Amino acid sequence: MYYIGLDVGGMSTKGALFNKKGEILERGTLKTIADQDYKVFVNRLKDLCLDMLQKQKLIEKDLLGIGMAIPGSIDTKKGIITYSNNIKFKNVPIVKEMQKYFNVPIKIGNDANLAVLGEMYFGSAKNYNDIVFITLGTGIGTGIISDKKLILGKAGAGAEGGHSVIRLNGEPCTCGRKGCWESYGSATALIKQTKVAVDKYPNSILADIAKKEGTINGKTAFDAERLGDAVGKKVVKKYLRYVGEGLVNLVNIFRPEIVLIGGGISNEGDALMKRIQRFVNRYSYGGENKTKVLVKKAELKNDAGIYGCLALFLED
Amino acid sequence: MYYIGLDVGGMSTKGALFNKKGEILERGTLKTIADQDYKVFVNRLKDLCLDMLQKQKLIEKDLLGIGMAIPGSIDTKKGIITYSNNIKFKNVPIVKEMQKYFNVPIKIGNDANLAVLGEMYFGSAKNYNDIVFITLGTGIGTGIISDKKLILGKAGAGAEGGHSVIRLNGEPCTCGRKGCWESYGSATALIKQTKVAVDKYPNSILADIAKKEGTINGKTAFDAERLGDAVGKKVVKKYLRYVGEGLVNLVNIFRPEIVLIGGGISNEGDALMKRIQRFVNRYSYGGENKTKVLVKKAELKNDAGIYGCLALFLED
């Protein structure tokens, strides 16, 4: 028997056809078009599903369920997208609409929530019950599992831990507050911080790299640091402090067993994980009696969401 | 049938004997002596229990269970106080020790956690499933219920939301970090902030009140504000901003239905609740589509913990 996972992103939607062992047999994608009528969108999702089935010579009756990961506020019980900023949906009964095409159980969830669920069942957090998952990307996404259960909250939107003020009166954030963690610890923030340093130190190795590559990204400062550049080192040190402070805030609230780090910045790998590990060891609450929290790279990367869709059916 | 709740505090331990309707039939207290041998302490707890039973002409066989609220890190499953800073206990098998005297189910929990459980079953948060409870007292305590379940974390110590940095490089906190919410939003912090203002504005009504009363407490600035004092108003405004910022951080993470406020500062009552409500409405995440979070005073006050002990037996 088989399952389908659909990870709806702002730009594209990824599909995967799983067997019951959790192996991906088939993949597919479609372009997500924001603002389009949800019925048209669901019709395209249906085609994506049928296409994956056909390629594996399967039919609808072979399916045990379809899971969908969606960015935004989700009413998981009613099967409704309450609000999604990225795909411009508001109060969309997407499960009901999908069920016009597929007579199987259909479940939905917030994408960040499903990503952490995916990591718990299939990725870096197997056998852990208390997990804080953060993604350092365009923003800071957070998905949290406490005692094996996802933190959903009333709106079903998932934990917006990135929108936690760590610097009163700090940088303005898209959410309307000032000084949110996301404005300091996201990849976007690091790029800004790198740009400032490049302008300030035009003779640094950091500025050289930026010039050679013609662009500044989340890797630039790390690259400069690796070449022994004092400016790059300073930028990275400060940035990691920002990441660490917001992360320790979450660690103090949830007391997890494990912290998973995903998103573009996590590609810095083990060296980065070790530095964040040291910060968490040092500053998390509890003095010498505290239990150690493991910091680890999220391994499923872009597949965390679709694995989470499958995990929805293991939750019962 | 009857239950006993024991709320172990740093200074004193409160006991209550409940009937199955959740009414308190008898109360008792004993002085908590830190550093004493745990076996001696449990022996005294036993006497407190027997005393309450006797006064109601009851015997041990009438008891259905004993619940205990303890400050610190608790292993609820093993019945062990892992670490308590206040009562200087470390790895104390308190349930096992109590069971030498009472052949009934004995359960323990962190005091802040049990306080929010008490409010959920018997107090201000009846019929709510997603609750953030904060106490503005000596520190900032936080107890959180997500989808009817307490946030326990690995160490069982409960959510240390007070130790969340809201101002990078800010005031030093007892936990070793700088800029924790507790250092800005607790009653202790308000008293400090009031003292600074009194020194700076010796001709203010605020300074007058402080002089007349011979002391500064968590009420002083609010009293000055009520008398129309600009300095008092300024102190309160700034303080409420601190409270609000840390609170909205928690609201964004947990998306609760209700926020309960307890601790000394909550005695300012409805006027205070309304101001915090406005802050939460304005700054919590989600734009116009956000669901409203109710801000309410915690009504059980000092009894929240012992009601939480009883609630432990309703959790099954």
Sign of the dihedral through C-alpha B234, B240, B243, B246: negative
Position A263 in a domain: yes
A114 and A152 share a domain? no
As a whole number of angstroms, the distance between CA A266 and CA A119 comes to: 15
Count structural domains, chain B.
Answer: 2
B85, B160, B293 member nearest A253 (Cβ): B160
Is a pLDDT exceeding 80 seen at residue B114?
yes
As a whole number of angstroms, the distance between CA A74 and CA A80 comes to: 6
Structure-token pair, residue A215: 């662009």
As a whole number of angstroms, the distance between CA B286 and CA A177 comes to: 11
Question: With bands split at pLDDT 50, 70 and 90, how would you rate the model's confidence at B32?
Answer: confident
Question: What residues in A contact B285, CB-CB < 8 Å?
Answer: 160, 163, 175
Is a pLDDT exceeding 90 seen at residue B11?
no
**Subunit contact B289:A73, Cβ cutoff 8 A:** yes
Question: With bands split at pLDDT 50, 70 and 90, how would you rate the model's confidence at A84?
Answer: confident
B203 and B108 share a domain? no
Distance from CA of A52 to the nearest CA of B (A): 35
Q: What's the confidence (pLDDT) of residue A251?
A: 95
Q: What is the mean pLDDT of chain B?
A: 93
User: Stretch A12-23: mean pLDDT, rounded?
Assistant: 94
As a whole number of angstroms, the distance between CA B89 and CA B81 comes to: 7
A278 and A183 share a domain? yes
Question: What residues in B contact A81, CB-CB < 8 Å?
Answer: none
Is a pLDDT exceeding 80 seen at residue A157?
no
Q: What's the confidence (pLDDT) of residue B71?
A: 85
Would you tell me which residues 274-303 of chain A have a C-beta closer than 8 angstroms to some C-beta of chain B?
283, 285-287, 289-291, 293
Q: What's the confidence (pLDDT) of residue A175?
A: 86
Lowest mean pLDDT segment, chosen from B142-156, B163-177, B297-311? B142-156
CATH number at residue A33: 3.30.420.40
Would you tell me which residues 23-42 of chain A have a C-beta closer than 8 angstroms to some C-beta of chain B?
none
Is B254 near chain A, with CB under 8 Å? Answer: yes
What is the number of CB-based contacts under 8 A between chain A and chain B? 144
pLDDT 10s digits, A261-291: 999 999 999 999 999 999 999 999 876 566 6
User: Stretch B182-189: mean pLDDT, rounded?
Assistant: 96
User: Stretch A155-178: mean pLDDT, rounded?
Assistant: 88
Q: Are B158 and B140 in contact (CB under 8 A)?
A: no
Would you tell me which residues 66-125 of chain B have a C-beta closer than 8 angstroms to some C-beta of chain A?
73, 82-83, 85, 90
User: Stretch A169-178: mean pLDDT, rounded?
Assistant: 92
Among chain B residues, CA nearest to A132: B153
- Amino acid letter for position B247: L
As a whole number of angstroms, the distance between CA A262 and CA A297 comes to: 6
Candidates B149, B71, B152, B159; CA nearest to B117 is B149
Tell me which of A81, A127, A181, A252 to substitute to probe the interface with B (most B C-beta atoms closer than 10 Å): A252
B137 and B284 share a domain? yes
Residue B281: give the domain boundaries.
Answer: 125-299
pLDDT 10s digits, A195-246: 999 999 999 999 999 999 999 999 999 999 999 999 999 999 999 999 999 9
Q: What's the confidence (pLDDT) of residue B44?
A: 96
A102 and A147 share a domain? no
Q: What's the confidence (pLDDT) of residue A155?
A: 61
B107 and B239 share a domain? no
As a whole number of angstroms, the distance between CA B287 and CA B94 comes to: 48
A103 and A148 share a domain? no
Candidates B142, B232, B240; CA nearest to B189 is B240
User: Stretch A154-175: mean pLDDT, rounded?
Assistant: 87
Which residues, 6+ apart, have CB-to-CB distance to B225 below 8 Å? B232, B233, B235, B236
Distance from CA of A245 to the nearest CA of B (A): 7
Q: Are A133 and A117 in contact (CB under 8 A)?
A: no
Is A166 near chain B, with CB under 8 Å? Answer: yes
Q: What's the confidence (pLDDT) of residue B82?
A: 87
Is a pLDDT exceeding 80 seen at residue A148?
yes
Question: What residues in B contact A155, CB-CB < 8 Å?
Answer: 255, 286, 290-291
As a whole number of angstroms, the distance between CA B15 and CA B50 comes to: 11
Buried b or exposed e, range B97-109, using 16+ CB within 10 angstroms: bbbebbebbbbbb
Question: What residues in B contact A129, CB-CB < 8 Å?
Answer: 154
As a whole number of angstroms, the distance between CA B120 and CA A42 comes to: 40
Share of chain B above pLDDT 90, in %: 78
Position B161 in a domain: yes
B169 in the Ramachandran plot: left (φ > 0), alpha (ψ -120 to 50) or beta? left
User: Stretch B212-229: mean pLDDT, rounded?
Assistant: 97
A73 and A171 share a domain? no
As a whole number of angstroms, the distance between CA B209 and CA B223 comes to: 8
Q: What is the mean pLDDT of chain A?
A: 93
Query: How distant, in Å, are the alpha carbons of B6, B23, B59, B126, B312 from that of B2?
Result: 14, 10, 10, 22, 14
A160 and A295 share a domain? yes
Instruction: Phi first, then psi: give them for residue B212, nearest 5 degrees.
Output: -60, -45
Distance from CA of A233 to the nearest CA of B (A): 20
As a whole number of angstroms, the distance between CA A169 and CA A183 comes to: 12
Position A316 in a domain: no
User: Stretch A141-157: mean pLDDT, rounded?
Assistant: 84
**Subunit contact B147:A152, Cβ cutoff 8 A:** yes
pLDDT 10s digits, A102-133: 999 999 998 889 999 999 999 999 999 999 99
Q: What's the confidence (pLDDT) of residue A219?
A: 97
A154, A155, A255 member nearest B157 (Cβ): A255
- Amino acid letter for position A87: I
Candidates B95, B90, B134; CA nearest to B116 is B134
Query: How distant, in Å, are the alpha carbons of A294, B98, B149, B153 from that of B130?
Result: 28, 33, 8, 17
Tell me which of B169, B253, B254, B259 to substitute to probe the interface with A (most A C-beta atoms closer than 10 Å): B253
Question: What are the DSSP calls for A12-79, one per residue?
Answer: EEEEEEEETTS-EEEEEEEE--TTS-HHHHHHHHHHHHHHHHHHTT--GGGEEEEEEEESSEEETTTT
| Top-confidence range, A73-87, A200-214, A273-287, B154-168 | A200-214
As a whole number of angstroms, the distance between CA A19 and CA A26 comes to: 10
User: Stretch A25-48: mean pLDDT, rounded?
Assistant: 93
Neighbours of B201 (CB within 10 A): 17
Is a pLDDT exceeding 90 seen at residue B138?
no
Candidates B81, B16, B3, B92; CA nearest to B300 is B16
A155 and A259 share a domain? yes
Q: What's the confidence (pLDDT) of residue A316?
A: 62
Interface confidence (ipTM) of the complex = 0.88
pTM of the model: 0.89
Is a pLDDT exceeding 90 seen at residue A160?
no
A102 and A167 share a domain? no
Is B228 near chain A, with CB under 8 Å? Answer: no
Position B316 in a domain: no
As a whole number of angstroms, the distance between CA B264 and CA A160 comes to: 29
Q: What's the confidence (pLDDT) of residue A290?
A: 67
B100 and B144 share a domain? no
**Subunit contact A147:B149, Cβ cutoff 8 A:** yes
pLDDT 10s digits, B235-258: 999 999 999 999 999 999 999 999
